[in-house]
Structure 1
Amino acid sequence: MSTSLRGTKTTKFIQRAGVTAVAAGLLAGVTVSTASAGQDRPELRQAVQEFVGNGFAGMQLRVRDERGEWTGSAGVRELGGTAKPSTDGHFRVGSTAKNFTATLVLRLVADGRIDLDTPVAGVLPRFGFDRRITVRMLLQHTSGLFNHTGEFFPDGTVVPGIPWRGKEWVDKRFHTYEPEELVRLSLSKPPRFEPGAGWSYSNTNYVVARLMVEALTGRSFADELDRRILRPLKLRDTLSPGAWSGMPKPYAHAYYTYDDAGQQKTLDVTHQNPSWVSSAGDMISTTKDLQTYFSALQSGKILPAWLLAEMRKTDPRSEGFFGRYGLGQFSKDLGPDCGNTVVLSHNGSNNGYAALMYSTPDGSKTMTASVTSGATVADAKFPAALEKLLKTVFCGK
């Protein structure tokens, strides 16, 4: 990560998540964008182009609102080439996967298989969890469980976990981690705080949620996700890959820049084993599937109203750049100059890829996107570019 962002709320969030802010680059002179036929949305074309102009290799954007659906892309699909990213390309969604995982757990709550205040220890007795940790605490990041990708404290102290960045990650990017291995690593470390006593983003919470789903259903997480969410919504381009390092076509390449003995190197990391983050961030999708899913969720087509309301109850201790955290999603008020419009979201990144997934509470207006990295690091410009994009889409500014 660039030093210009160290110490900010945005960087702390990304560090806790165990996923780097997407690094970026663009071949000089490539500035052409493509957009969906039938309507010209110059403000959206400009917004996409600004991400590329800020140093990101490529971006694809999909917006659905009262004017219909618009898709566009800018930048390059692969460094050294001229082809633009496909608007239906696959990408790694990173922590956006947490929203799917939370929704899957809440489907089991709706079916009466588990309760939000059920102790996790009763579902997974083999781990010896603190019996005060509940399902709700996992989904809202208030369990206090050590983040297996490392803990980052306000005073700059770092307690490392598994490698997820730098040359150490590059050398192990095809290594397979088992979910149980990640949980046991977490439990071998002191908790960040007593259960319920604080808020801290921990990937481990969502790995535990995965194991709970498997224990309650007797099926693999991927199978249960497919059965309860993906197939009913016809999300044919979304998958939980486990340890598979491949990427379905079409896709834009992603790159990772790291330090190797004092030299900056850039590597194509499109193919990588995402098992290090498991169900906290391993999924692959498209902007179309994310739009279909998130709109269906927010409009009440997946969960009953009472559980959707629970999902939206946020913890004030989680306040940050992305808003406040509920159960597997953020809620952000865009401010008085936007009529205090509230958007719900869960973004994510996974060494080389970044995903955006936003919706209004009724699911009628959505924005989904993928940003790919290149040969230069431009993460310091990401927060401002995202804020401007949100205002353009949801505020008409």
Structure 2
Amino acid sequence: MPDWSARLNELAVAAEVTGAVLGIWHDGETTIVPYGILNSTTQTPTTADSLFQLGSVSKPWTASMIVQLAAEGRIDLDDTIVKLLPEAPVDNRITVHHLLTHTSGIDGDLFTDTGRGDDCLERYVALLADVDQLFEPGTAYSYCNAGFVLLGRLIEVLDNRTWDQSLKARLIEPLGLTHTVTLPEEALLHNAAVGHLATDGSRVQTWQLPRSIGPAGTITASAADLLEFAKLHLTERYAAMQVPQVPFAAGIGGFVDLGLTWRIYDWGGRRLFGHDGTTISQLAFLRIDPEARLIMCLLTNSGNGTRLFEPLASEVFTQYAGVAHPEAPQPIDAPVDDRHVGRYERASVRLDVEEREGQLVMLYQATGDRLSFSDDPVHEYELRPAEPADGNHFVTRESTEHPWSPVTFAPNHVFVSGRVTPRR
């Protein structure tokens, strides 16, 4: 059996990750391994029970509560949002199912801070009146944080309490979780990680996303608690969440389909499910192999988390399931033209594609509320041609040390980071 503490240490040093916790559950046996420090300023060491932000790994928790409400007969996944929340200023065709599968068409990266009060989700939902509809509901996939805030508000109305309170009553307390929180004053009672930039490892100044983003990404938890939550999804009650609903064409990391919020992966012919999460230089990863009864999570407080996750996941899954993390797409030698040159824009992000000496470059600019917590608000990405060689498919990467990820152009938009960004 590998020494996972030694392997985590070796790979984290190579990836320049500040702190991390690896969690493995395999057929009833749990391994939790910490590495590094939680805060470069205080030099607090990472421990097995340290708390890290889960980011979008929070979304399956919110989705699980929606599935509970459906099982209780209080909602139907085909119900429209305006039927359940008449005050929601969204397209009257958008359903609960659309929100769970990121197919609503709402331009979803709205990060407005609507305060710390218990009405923050209600106030956030009212802001959606000013958000664009990118496409007809149900006709495409585009990652949508706002949709999960809408689901969180729906939970609040049906349960007559805040989303945070429902999370405690429906999941945290029944599962016996003692290291899972949503608010900073709760995290202060534990050893909690702070984020560190990928570029130089310096500690970032903003700790958490606004409370209004809670249902989409503010759960903070230990690796052990995250494994306990994941084990819940090996039971029949939540099996429908793993049924493919929407194909994911980009296929990065083996992600081939979307279930009810869970991402479904094909790793060497084995079907896994899971989710990733990114907040302010804290990256979280969760993968579950039901057939092997294997769960792996990795919590990091570094923008370099992906550099650590991919080789470590390959070793863990090779050991227990005989499969490795899929190889990242690679660039090819092919000519490019200027058909995709121009500006692309959605909520919180502006992308400018330029041609330089026969190559395409994409300039990323965080805008609006995203500027207040963006690690790297302005970044330049090289776009390299990729298969299929039709002039529309490219790959890019954060740096030469990071894996390539796909970028796909269509006549009226670019699909990057799982999001449709319209051409302006």
Greater Cα offset, 359-368 or 268-277: 268-277
Q: Deviation per CA, 1:40-60, whole angstroms, max 9, x where unpaired? A: 632563145313321110111
Q: CA deviation at 1:106?
A: 0.6
Q: Which amino acid aligns with 2:179?
A: D
The equivalent residue for 2:252 is 321
Q: 1:278 aligns with which of 197, 211, 214?
A: 214
Identity, in percent, stands at 24
1:246–1:271 CA contact under 8 A, matched in 2 = no
Q: 2:297 aligns with which of 355, 359, 368?
A: 368
1:247–1:270 CA contact under 8 A, matched in 2 = no
The equivalent residue for 1:100 is 61
Q: CA deviation at 1:86?
A: 0.5
Q: CA deviation at 1:184?
A: 3.4
TM-score w.r.t. structure 1 length?
Answer: 0.71
Distance 1:199 1:50, change over 3 A: same
Tell whether 2:313 aligns with 1:352. Answer: no
The equivalent residue for 2:87 is 126
Q: 1:333 aligns with which of 243, 259, 266?
A: 266
Q: CA deviation at 1:328?
A: 1.6
Tell whether 2:16 aligns with 1:50. Answer: no
Q: Which amino acid aligns with 2:24?
A: V
Q: Which amino acid aligns with 1:210?
A: G
Q: Deviation per CA, 1:140-170, whole angstroms, max 9, x where unpaired? A: 1001111133xxxxxxxxxxx65xxxxxxxx
Unaligned regions of 5+ residues in structure 2, if any? 325-424
Q: Which amino acid aligns with 1:331?
A: I
1:48–1:60 CA contact under 8 A, matched in 2 = no
Distance 1:250 1:270, change over 3 A: farther
The equivalent residue for 1:381 is 307
The equivalent residue for 2:190 is 249
Distance 1:114 1:362, change over 3 A: farther
Q: Which has the higher strand share?
A: 2
| C-alpha RMSD over aligned residues | 3.1
Distance 1:277 1:257, change over 3 A: farther
CA distance in 2, matches of 1:391, 1:325: 21
Distance 1:267 1:64, change over 3 A: closer
Alignment of 1:7-18 (within 5 A): none
Q: Which has the higher helix share?
A: 1
Alignment of 1:29-40 (within 5 A): none
CA distance in 2, matches of 1:278, 1:180: 12
CA distance in 2, matches of 1:238, 1:188: 34
CA distance in 2, matches of 1:44, 1:333: 27
CA distance in 1, matches of 2:158, 2:61: 17
Q: CA deviation at 1:329?
A: 0.9
Distance 1:126 1:252, change over 3 A: closer
Q: CA deviation at 1:191?
A: 0.7
Q: Residue 69 of structure 1: SS of its match in structure 2?
A: strand
Q: Which amino acid aligns with 2:124?
A: L
Q: CA deviation at 1:382?
A: 5.3
CA distance in 2, matches of 1:87, 1:128: 44
Q: Which amino acid aligns with 1:219?
A: R
The equivalent residue for 1:236 is 178
Higher relative contact order structure (alpha carbons within 8 Å, sequence separation ≥ 6):
1
The equivalent residue for 1:16 is none
Distance 1:308 1:218, change over 3 A: same
